[in-house]
Copies of this chain bind each other. A is one copy, B any other.
Amino acid sequence: MRRLKATISYDGTNFAGYQVQPNQRTVQEEIEKVLTRMHKSKETIHVTASGRTDARVHALGQVLHFDTTLTIPVDRYVTALNVQLPHDIRFLKIEEVAEDFHARYSVHGKQYRYIWSCEKILNPFRRYYTTATNGHKPDIARMKEAAQYIIGTHDFSCFCAANTGVKDKVRTVEALDFEWHGEELHMIIRGNGFLYNMVRIIAGTLWEVGISKREPAEIEQIVASMNRKTAGKTAAPQGLYLEKVHYPN
């Protein structure tokens, strides 16, 4: 038995999310189906991801681990999986890891990217891959200023969806920045862990700062309130990408 770490990318458009759910098409189920078939196993070969992603959320570098009895070299393992998987999931890399490596518990940090399309007329090719702003162009200087109140270690209850079982809501946001790529605005956020919907609530709240619905300094009070109701709307899922998952070397 060897433990493998896999880096995968998926287009979240046609998935009900990463995690297996009855009667829904999910990333995990598609992968487990192929792995189980490859192992000619009667029991499902399970994979464990760094965390789940919601319906329509994309991944550029999701990480998962699984245990295998197959002795195929890792490069050929990648090819064998990709040949059988649907085209909206791709294995990018497989590495052999120590048996105590755990895709979820060993996580050191994650990086997400959120993309808004600020064109007046939404490019039809970007409809599933960005959040349309109907031509609104925010002031990113305001958004960068507001971001300073988020960077650091805080109780982020204000940016956590109500329906969560997590008790300790203290997390560290290590970096939070904005970049224009043509008429698309990217928010890049890196931290040691993220609460349920945290990136999308931060995106939605800082968006409101960018279009002057809120002042940058308000963010300090929102964080201090530890109350979800003080923050802005949850931004739409299709603009969100899980970009990288970091593990200790």
Chain A interface residues toward B at CB < 8 A: 9-11, 58, 78, 82, 87-92, 121-125, 127, 129
- Interfacial chain B residues near A92, Cβ < 8 Å: 121
Q: Which 9 A-B pairs have the closest CB atoms?
A: A87-B127, A11-B124, A88-B124, A90-B124, A11-B125, A90-B121, A9-B124, A10-B124, A92-B121
In the bound complex, what is the Cα–Cα distance between A82 and B132 (angstroms)? Answer: 13
A125/B58 in contact, CB under 8 A: yes
Chain B positions within 8 Å of A58 at CB level: 125
| A95 CB → nearest B CB, Å | 15
Q: Among A10, A78, A123, A129, which residue has the most Cβ atoms of chain B within 10 A?
A: A123
Partner of A89, one of B10, B124, B129: B124
User: Whole-angstrom distance between the alpha carbons of A136 and B235 in the complex?
Assistant: 39
A129: nearest residue on chain B (CB-CB)?
B125
In the bound complex, how far is the Cα of B11 from the Cα of A58, in angstroms? 19
CB distance from A238 to the nearest CB of B (A): 11
Q: Is the Cβ of A123 less than 8 Å from the Cβ of B9? A: yes
**B11 lies within 8 A of A87 (CB):** no
Report how far A122 CA is from B82 CA in the complex, Å: 9
The residue among A88, A121, A122 with the most chain B CB atoms within 10 A of its own CB is A121
Whole-angstrom distance between the alpha carbons of A129 and B78 in the complex?
Answer: 23
Nearest CB to that of A59 among chain B residues? B124
